[in-house]
Amino acid sequence: MKLARWRKITEWPLTVSAVLFLAAYAWEIIAQLSGPAETLAETVIQATWLLFVIDYVVSLILSENRARWFVQHLFDLLVVVLPMLRPLRLLRLLTFLSVLNRSLGTAVRGRVVVYVVGAASLAVFVAALAALDAERNAPGATITTFGDALWWAVVTITTVGYGDLAPITVEGRMIAVALMIGGIGLLGVVTATLASWIVERVARKDEDQQAATRVELRALTEEIAQLRRDLRSNEGLGAQSQSR
């Protein structure tokens, strides 16, 4: 299948591009770049984002049923189209998350703990960057440094919410909502993983007990069969003695 081959070929190049995308975005936000440095960061961001657009277009062309593929990948379309609008530029981070999840998610999803920790750390870092970008220049904002943004992201994703820092812009509050939903999902994954581990241990213990019981029954059955053979042998010897 052409689409599957294309996905396999572009998997790691897009992952590298996504990492470069995040690095340039983080550099631009944290360092508050200006002049040539800002131009360089924006160039990297736009170039990597263009690769994501190309990937979407090529995937659409190579799909066997384009209409069906288009409907099933509306989120991917929003990811590559909406960041062109300046007020929605924070959604460029969705591009990074989407590509990275596609490339690395299947590789570590089987290792639930690694995936959860990695996803949570990435979500906190990305949310902190996005919140700082949205809040820093707003009048009356409390999230004005990356340290503040990181602290706010941690207490938000863990659903603690101390309230010492809070977003005041619409973009910042949208980020907060997404992060809180992510935190609830994270707790659900951790709880489900723990429950699954307990059930697995109990099931394994039951299997061991059942296996031991089957071994004991097999041994007991063999002993009974041997006793019957011995009994029949003795009866045969007794009958022979009487006939003599």
The CA-CA-CA angle for residues 22, 59, 73, to 5°, reads 75
Q: Does domain 109-209 have CATH number 1.10.287.70?
A: yes
Distance between CA atoms of residues 244 and 127, nearest Å: 101
**pTM for this entry:** 0.67
Distance between CA atoms of residues 114 and 116, nearest Å: 6
Instruction: Taking each helix axis as running N to C, give the angle between helix 2-31 and helix 92-108, from 0 to 180 degrees, rounded to the nearest 10.
Output: 120
pLDDT reported for residue 100: 55
Q: Are 205 and 197 in contact (CB under 8 A)?
A: no
Residue 232 Cα distances to 125, 218, 225, 237, angstroms: 80, 21, 11, 9
Distance between CA atoms of residues 25 and 112, nearest Å: 28
Output DSSP code: residue 161.
-
- CA neighbor of 40 nearest in space, from 55, 19, 26, 24: 24
Locate tokens 């002049």: which residue?
35
Locate tokens 């062109």: which residue?
84
Residue-by-residue pLDDT tens, the chain, 244 positions:
788 888 888 877 877 887 888 888 889 989 988 899 999 998 998 888 888 888 889 989 998 888 998 988 887 787 677 665 443 445 555 555 555 555 555 554 455 666 677 778 888 888 899 899 889 889 999 999 999 999 999 999 888 878 889 999 988 898 898 888 878 877 777 677 667 767 777 777 777 677 777 777 888 888 887 887 777 776 665 655 555 5
Residue 65 Cα distances to 2, 9, 62, 173, angstroms: 12, 21, 9, 38
pLDDT reported for residue 27: 92
- CA neighbor of 177 nearest in space, from 155, 147, 198, 156: 156
Q: Which two tokens stand for residue 107?
A: 């590789």
SS (H, E, C) 69-109: HHHHCHHHHHHHHHHHCHHHHHHHHHHHHHHHHHHHHHHHC
Helix, strand, coil percentages, rounded to 5, for the chain:
85, 0, 15
Output DSSP code: residue 140.
T
Distance between CA atoms of residues 181 and 102, nearest Å: 21
